[in-house]
Chains A and B, each alone.
Chain A
Amino acid sequence: MPVTDTALRDVYAAAVERMAGRALDALTGAGGAVAPAAPASTPELAALRVLGPDLFAAQLLSGAPLETATTTALGAALRAFPPETPTPDGTDQDALAVAWLDHVSGFLAGVAVHQPEHVPDSSHWQRWSVRMARLAPLALPGLDGPVHRAARREPLALARGTVRAMLRRDHRTALRLTRWLAWLGTPTPLELPPLLDRLHLVGDGSNRTALDLAITQALLTEHQR
């Protein structure tokens, strides 16, 4: 779903930011339902589709039931912007990452979306870690599957990818990989609190980044209990 029109792209990006802000409010207890009350606009449907599992961060982190209004809205989004078919066979690794996000979004929304047969290829830690950063919305409690098992098998590759992203000043990728490391809940080759401190300081100030920071912090806190 590439958007080439600049103005339209801005509209969609703004919708994602607003939706991320609602998910963040739900997580911090400052807001109500993540999904809009009224029937969602097309940009809002796109935003729901982009955020996917992150829409339910508040419930998945607290163990509460998923919000019905949001599962319904996400289902509508998946129908408005249907996942690519057939499922990628693994040759297009970027499409494969999107297919996994769609599959898990479908699972949460109660919409059948085919499960990819492959996980991203982990033989090249640089490329794999970038794809895992894209799959960071899957790093939430209660979600588990082949992608998560791959993350458990490769903590050093996740950590190396994080350090690489930090040194390239790609802080968004670094944060998303830190989120995976926090999700692992086991000792990792990287100390996460000082890293998260640094990511707080250099963040881009967007709601999307704030949401990733809050989720990562919550995962760390949960595992420190």
Chain B
Amino acid sequence: MTTDPRLLGIAQRLSSQALHWLHRAHRNGHGTLPPDATVDLSDPDTAYKPLGEAALAASLILRDGVAGAHDLAAAGELIEFCWHQLQSGNLLYERQLRHPNLTDPLEMYAHFARAGYRHRPLDELLDSLTRLRATHAAEMVPNRRLAVANARRVVGLDHRPDWAALTAGTWLGAAPEPWSIDWSTGYALTHTVFHLTDWGARPEGLPGPLRTYLTDWLPVWADIWLEIGQWDLVGELLIVDSCTGAPVCGLDPWERLAAAQHPDGLTPRDAEPVDPDPAQAFRDHEHTAVVAVIAGTVTLARALGAEPALA
């Protein structure tokens, strides 16, 4: 694990500034669900999915416990805001009840469960659904299967997936020619690692050969996407680097990502100009803020040997 104090200092500042940008944005009314939101969300990507992402980032700060008191307080308020937006879990419950084949209520709930939030009727519903063959026969791309398996693990559902088989089905599981990667495949591989390791808490969840593969090629991929300012993907690759348990990318990508972060904590997704409209800027860059928060907290937690706090 890295113990370079410069890198850890940058990771801490990057994460903290992104967290407070997210926190302020939500306090200022961005990222809220429309007041008439129902279980049949017409466009889940507009506010529902970002709420889950913000909850994920906050849950990892609370889980890893390596942030300062100010950041822990902001993370606590942020996840509370998200839970409130989801009607204290009722919206997730109603959506899952109405649409048993959807996986997003389970995946969203996992972020809150990680931080100790529970919704008993939803627990009961998910437990019931887990016993259905239909639930496990849902068609989805391989790294999404891992996302659902990890969500079930975090929520504590009685299910024992074949992790090796799930991993083998992913792009990363094939250890493909490293020069064949592209932008969207890059995201597929980062998510495979996130779910196998439960966002860095279980580095041992990554099979040894894949850890070696990532150690060999992560510095190249980070270099490529740094060169064209794809900050969002660079941030995800830095999370992966820490999730392996033995990061290899070094200080340079952290310095460049931190240099791209705005003084107010906005972390741009790419090298394009940032829209001056705060609402549009929030929509465009909230995901990268989440990525920056997670990159910093996972890196610090692994470097400091933090044991994830059990909810």
Contact = CB atoms under 8 A, between A and B. Distances in A.
Interface of A: 125-126, 156, 159-160, 162-164, 166-168, 174, 189-191, 194-195, 198
A54 to B, nearest CB: 25
Contacts of A195: 177, 179
Interface string B107-139: 000000000000000000000000000000000
Interface string B215-240: 01101110110010000000000000
Contacts, number: 33
Given A156-B216, A159-B216, A189-B216, A164 B224 contact: yes
Contacts of B221: 167
Contact of B223 (A164, A166, A190): A164
Closest 5 CB pairs of A and B: A166-B179, A163-B220, A167-B224, A163-B179, A163-B178
B241 to A, nearest CB: 15
Secondary structure at the B interface, as helix, strand, loop or mixed, is: helix
Interface string B178-197: 11010000000000000000
Nearest to A161: B220
B224 A190 contact: no
Interface in B153-210: 177-179, 181
Interface of B: 177-179, 181, 216-217, 219-221, 223-224, 227
A126 B219 CA distance: 10
Contacts of B179: 162-163, 166-167, 174, 195, 198
A189 B217 CA distance: 10
B216 A160 contact: yes
A198 B179 CA distance: 10
B224 A168 contact: yes
Contact of B220 (A164, A191, A198): A164
A9 to B, nearest CB: 28
A159 B212 CA distance: 14
Among A126, A156, A167, A168, which residue has the most Cβ atoms of chain B within 10 A?
A167
Given A160-B217, A163-B220, A190-B177, 8 more contacts: A126-B223, A160-B216, A162-B179, A164-B223, A167-B179, A167-B221, A189-B216, A198-B179
Nearest to B227: A168
Contacts of B227: 168
Contacts of A191: 177
A125 B223 CA distance: 11
Nearest to B212: A189
Contacts of A164: 220, 223-224
